[in-house]
Structure 1
Amino acid sequence: MELRHLQHFVAVAEDQHFTRAAERLLVSQSGLSASIRALERELRAPLFVRTTRRVTLTEAGRALLAEAERILAQVKAAHEAVAAVQGVVRGTLSVGTEQCIAGVHVAGLLAAFRRRHPDVEIRLRQTGSGALGEEVAAGRLDLAFAYRTQADTDQLRCVPLATEPMYVLCHPDHRLTRAAAALVPEDLAGEVFVDFHPDWGPRRATDAAFVEAGVRRTVALEVNDVHSLLDLVGENLGVAVVPRHFRHKREALTALPLKDTGEAAYETVALLPAPDATSPAARALMALLEAGEA
């Protein structure tokens, strides 16, 4: 089994399209198809269901994908480990992050990394914390900055970044602005809520806080970016419960602390593989973070 066959297979699985995968890999479509057929012959199983518009994985293909990603990640780590012994950090640094993560200025950190390691190609992916954890564990990301979703495992470890209390954002004309300096979840019963999709860290922290308090809430306005959330609250269409640092993003809004949420809090972490699987580039990035570069 050749590594290029596995690389070709993973590319087709990710793009679900032979033409797009061939363009990304800079190979001919016929050569890519021949590579996949050779792999299927060797494994004696079809890996894809092919249609005129897309390709999807068979059961055998799904089983191979996880192993292929693991093998390719180990090969990449081996190359980078040898380079690190020679005093060189090179290759690719794949980073994942949520929006507006607390405890790290991602853009500044990546800029500092690039100044020190210009030969490393930086790739960035933004999505929810659950997906980020899965991608780090699968080797598709070197590390990610996310909301703490689980304890350390054999495949994933958490390095604490920051812990923040939650605040309620509302329009200055909203009834809650006449309340005391702090609110409790019971004060928000019956409110219209603006919030992020369920995989985002602030949403998970808010859901946990209301479950802890035994207060039911319904998210009527669901968004996937910070500006849309602030705009909706700014138009008095609902209230939002967000981490403390969000209160500075729109000074015209009223921000009130949310108390009595038990142990529920917004805690951010850096998600990394096990130490022996962490790439030299990821270690270099974490060293910059720990040194206060961002």
Structure 2
Amino acid sequence: MERREVEYFLAVAEHGSFTGAAKALRIAQPSLSAAIGQFENRLGGKLFHRLPHGVRLTPAGEALLEPGRQVMRDLTTAQDSVHQVLGLTSGRLDIVAQTTLAVDPLAGLIGEFLRHHPKVDVRVLDQELGKTVTGSVRAGECELGMVDSGTDPEGMDGIRLRGREIYAVLPPGEHNAKRIGLSELAALDFVTTPEGTATRGVIEDVVAARDLRPRVSVETAHQAMVVPLVLAGAGVTLLPASMAAGAAREGATVLPLRPKVVRAGRLFWRPGPLSPAASRFIDFAMNSAKPASRRSR
């Protein structure tokens, strides 16, 4: 099969219609339909069910989806590798991350990476559920993934990210102490995201240290809604230092935990060749995870 055929197939699958795919590819819709038809004839079966409003993948199309994505990624990796050998600065980096990790440390890592490689295009997908992040990397939609986990997802290679201290975020003026103990914290009502998310995982693990389950007053799928709910008095939450600092600037009471709680996520990828951009980004992440005294040597 040819690269163009796979590219066309993936575009139709992504957009759910020939019209949307043709617009994204900037080709005429009849030309795209004809190319897909010829591709199906060569394969010996239909890849799409043609519906009154769009298309749906057939079982054959479903079977081609993940290998097709990997073929396109392998071709891009090969092209980027040639560019690197020739001294060209280019490439694309696709990363999927849970929200809290996207804020810290991913944002800082990308900034540092782009200062050294300004012509690399970076795309970040926000998948709050850890299993969704893993699925995106496993399916070839993204080359790298970040999850709040102590181990690499099954079948993946990865590295440990630098630790992030976790802080309690409470409504304004609710607590006068300089720290808050885990037993006292466990007795409060929490504002959190759904099960399987990074924020929820931190809360459950911290409260579990006192053999309890968190009392959830508000559960929201919108991470950006958590701090406003805390500010409105709906409950408390736990956030890494950078996000907690932002909450403090908005008026929330932010306290370190006693004892200190530090979380370290994972940067992971599928085994096998990586694009030059991904390999270099992993180097940046590994260097960032080292203690400051070692990085300065």
TM-score band, normalised by shorter chain: 0.7 to 0.9
8 Å Cα contact 1:148-1:158 kept in structure 2: no
Match of 1:246 in 2: 243
Shift of 1:233: 0.3
Name the CA shift for 1:103/1:169 in 2 (closer, same or farther; >3 Å): closer
Shift of 1:259: 5.5
Give the 3-state SS of the residue equivalent to 1:77 in structure 2. Answer: helix
Give the 3-state SS of the residue equivalent to 1:277 in structure 2. Answer: coil
Match of 1:170 in 2: 170
CA distance in 2: counterparts of 1:18 and 1:149, whole angstroms: 43
Match of 1:75 in 2: 75
Match of 1:139 in 2: 140
**Which stretch has the larger CA shift, 69-78 or 100-109?**
100-109
What's the C-alpha RMSD, in Å, of the aligned pairs? 3.2
- One-letter amino acid matched to 2:275: S
CA distance in 2: counterparts of 1:290 and 1:217, whole angstroms: 34
| Sequence identity percentage | 27
Give the 3-state SS of the residue equivalent to 1:249 in structure 2. Answer: helix
Shift of 1:145: 3.5
2:180 is the alignment partner of 1:182? yes
Shift of 1:34: 1.7
Match of 1:23 in 2: 23
1:38-79 superposed Cα distances (whole Å, 9 cap, x missing partner):
222223332222323332222222111111112221121122
Match of 2:293 in 1: none
**Which stretch has the larger CA shift, 158-167 or 24-33?**
158-167
In the TM superposition, 1:208-287 aligns within 5 A as 208-211=205-208, 213-251=210-248, 252-258=251-257, 266-274=263-271, 276-287=272-283
8 Å Cα contact 1:169-1:233 kept in structure 2: yes
In the TM superposition, 1:24-63 aligns within 5 A as 24-63=24-63
- One-letter amino acid matched to 2:200: R
Query: Which ranges of structure 1 fall in alignment gaps of 5 or more residues?
Result: none
8 Å Cα contact 1:167-1:247 kept in structure 2: yes
- One-letter amino acid matched to 1:286: I
Match of 2:99 in 1: 99
- One-letter amino acid matched to 2:274: T
8 Å Cα contact 2:159-2:286 kept in structure 1: no
- One-letter amino acid matched to 2:182: V
Give the 3-state SS of the residue equivalent to 1:250 in structure 2. Answer: helix
Give the 3-state SS of the residue equivalent to 1:101 in structure 2. Answer: helix
- With normalisation by structure 1, the TM-score equals 0.81
Match of 1:11 in 2: 11
Match of 1:151 in 2: 152
- With normalisation by structure 2, the TM-score equals 0.80
8 Å Cα contact 2:18-2:33 kept in structure 1: yes
2:197 is the alignment partner of 1:200? yes
Shift of 1:226: 4.6
Name the CA shift for 1:236/1:151 in 2 (closer, same or farther; >3 Å): same
CA distance in 2: counterparts of 1:166 and 1:213, whole angstroms: 17
8 Å Cα contact 2:161-2:286 kept in structure 1: no
8 Å Cα contact 2:96-2:124 kept in structure 1: yes
CA distance in 1: counterparts of 2:123 and 2:102, whole angstroms: 20
Give the 3-state SS of the residue equivalent to 1:242 in structure 2. Answer: strand
8 Å Cα contact 1:93-1:123 kept in structure 2: yes
Shift of 1:280: 0.2
1:159-217 superposed Cα distances (whole Å, 9 cap, x missing partner):
2222235433211454xx3689433257534x442112434322223234445544233
Name the CA shift for 1:246/1:112 in 2 (closer, same or farther; >3 Å): closer
Shift of 1:230: 1.0
Question: Number of matched residues?
Answer: 286
8 Å Cα contact 1:201-1:266 kept in structure 2: no
2:131 is the alignment partner of 1:130? yes
